[in-house]
Amino acid sequence: MSEAALVLEQVRTPMFGSPHHLEVDLRIAAGEFVALVGPSRSGKSLIIELAAGLVSPEAGRVVLLGHEWSGGSESEYNPVRIRVGTVLEQPGLLNNMTLFNNVLLPLRYHRGALSDRSREHAVMAQLERLGLTPMRDRFPAELSHGEVRRGAIARACMLDPEVLLLDDPVAGVDAEMQLVLKAYVEERRADHSLTVVVALRAWSPFIEGADRLVALHDGRVKADGPRDAVAEVVPEALRRYVE
């Protein structure tokens, strides 16, 4: 078995707004593309937050890229976070910056040695790939939800992360751009070993591209495996998320 990029070992933690606890035991190999599917309040976003080190589990341990998230300071976490691109349900583009400057920020902050020209070139390439070039000088408040989300994904990919954690990457994104997003992630995976974990609330093209589906309900994993295998064993209530 290849080296694990993300391990959630015997994790148990309360789910906000639900009487249930999230109880999972997951191991995601480096380079794997995993889609977490299920209805709202099933624990998908919580898994993304646990993986990103934003939430500490009540029990169990979470290890990302060999680093265990447990009681460390932010300065200890930062070297790991630079290797991970995360976009949560709230994309969090900075409202006082244009889209261009938002996507440029990680490079400006972490790759200060790069020339302005090469940074601009890198940002424009990402924006063009995601169909955002005409929006480069707009502020987040002037963009649609889908454009904000695509901008946040572009920003998350600027440092060439080893792991990409995406919470509902297709929310507010039109059907054509969903395909563009999927192709964008697949291209990045082809470029270098990239582990992708996406949480999805409805069927989307990402499900077709995933190596593995994890169907969740009320904080429990109901099915885990390749799409066809999951479609066979998944409970009726979750069938519409995988087919």
Map 100-159 to HEC letters: HHHHHHHHHHHCCCCCHHHHHHHHHHHHHHCCCHHHCCCCHHHCCHHHHHHHHHHHHCCC
C-alpha to C-alpha distance for 128 and 229, rounded to whole angstroms: 37
Nearer to other proteins, 34 or 157 (CB): 157
CB of 60 to other proteins, least distance (A): 22
Nearer to other proteins, 25 or 76 (CB): 76
Nearer to other proteins, 43 or 151 (CB): 151
CA dist 190 to 18, 127, 171, 174, Å? 38, 19, 24, 24
Nearer to other proteins, 15 or 82 (CB): 82
**Helix residue ranges per DSSP H, 52-98:** 74-81
CB of 126 to other proteins, least distance (A): 15
C-alpha to C-alpha distance for 149 and 88, rounded to whole angstroms: 9
Nearer to other proteins, 30 or 88 (CB): 88
The residue assigned the tokens 């039109």 is: 174
Which residues lie across from 28 on neighbouring strands?
A: 6
CB of 106 to other proteins, least distance (A): 5
CB of 29 to other proteins, least distance (A): 23
Nearest CA to 93 out of 45, 52, 147 is that of: 147
Asked if 192 and 85 touch (Cβ cutoff 8 Å), the reply is: no
Contacts of 94 (CB under 8 A, 6+ apart): 101, 102, 105, 140
Nearer to other proteins, 52 or 242 (CB): 52
CB of 140 to other proteins, least distance (A): 9
CB of 159 to other proteins, least distance (A): 8
Q: Which residues bind other proteins (CB under 8 A)?
A: 52, 54, 74-75, 77-82, 84, 86, 88, 90-96, 105-106, 108-110, 112, 152, 155-156
